[in-house]
Amino acid sequence: MSVRLVFLRPRNPENLGAVARAMKNFGLSDWAIVDPRTLDFATARRVAVHSEELLDRPRVVATLDEAVADCAWVVGTSSRKVRGKRRLLPEEVAREAAERAPAGLTAIVFGDERSGLTNEEIDRCHDLSAIPSLGEQPSLNLAQAALVYCYEVRARATSGRPPAPLPVAATDGELERLTASLRDLLRDGGFLAGPERHAVKDLVAPLRRARLSGKEARLWIAALKKVGRRPA
């Protein structure tokens, strides 16, 4: 399945073990751990019943950028409402991930157990998703939340006809390079004379929603750089 689970700053080794078990339950194997606050994989293994092999090969990286650079769609799990970002149910994420699978990898990003995703991390995500829990107890345990998404991804992957082939989608890394090229051009042209605020993010948002192919993103980058090199 073309889905990667990304866990930011996990603190509890039992959670990692339970996540590994949930992934094995529903056939997922691609995951990345960003800046872990625990490396107690021995404790995690005691919870990862019949799923210990997943704890032998997690991709441990330092930053969210590293974890999602090769992904075409990045979804952050947060109940916050953020301008310009869709807020999807888990089943909607799974359905769209299945549709996007021929074009590229989807990352589902989980924040740390205490405070979730930071503002900067939410900005890095293309869309957001939340599990509709009750108001008196809105937060879920990290492994419980991961299990819900694992189930939905599996259910969508095994239902219905396979989607029609799509062009290979632009990766998050390519979209970030496009954003940087646009930012440089706008600064050189005087459009960004002061603090950036939301200008670049708002201008790039329609391009992210358009699901650019890798070829289209590279063409945008080349065009922006070419225009930026023209003499004033």
Enumerate the domain spans of the chain: 3-157, 172-229
Q: Can you state the percent helix, strand and coil of the chain, rounding each to 5? A: 45, 15, 40
What digits encode the pLDDT tens for the residues 194-230?
777 788 888 888 888 888 888 999 999 999 988 877 6
Which DSSP category does 195 fall into?
-
Least confident of 21-35, 151-165, 189-203: 151-165
Topology of domain 3-157 in CATH is Alpha/beta knot (3.40.1280)
Please determine, for residue 47, whether its predicted confidence score (pLDDT) is greater than 60: yes
Average pLDDT over residues 48-60: 90
From residue 11, alpha-carbon distances to 8, 14, 40 in Å are 9, 9, 10
Please determine, for residue 42, whether its predicted confidence score (pLDDT) is greater than 70: yes
The pLDDT, as a whole number, for residue 188 is 87
Average pLDDT, the chain: 90
In degrees, rounded to 5, the angle at the alpha carbon of residue 29 between the alpha carbons of residues 78 and 161 is 85
The pLDDT, as a whole number, for residue 205 is 86
What digits encode the pLDDT tens for the residues 101-118?
988 999 999 999 988 999
Please determine, for residue 49, whether its predicted confidence score (pLDDT) is greater than 80: yes
SS3 of residue 187 by DSSP: helix
What digits encode the pLDDT tens for the residues 168-203?
888 989 999 999 999 999 988 888 877 777 888 888
The pLDDT, as a whole number, for residue 75 is 97
CA dihedral 17, 172, 157, 163 (to 10 degrees): -170
Please determine, for residue 165, whether its predicted confidence score (pLDDT) is greater than 90: no
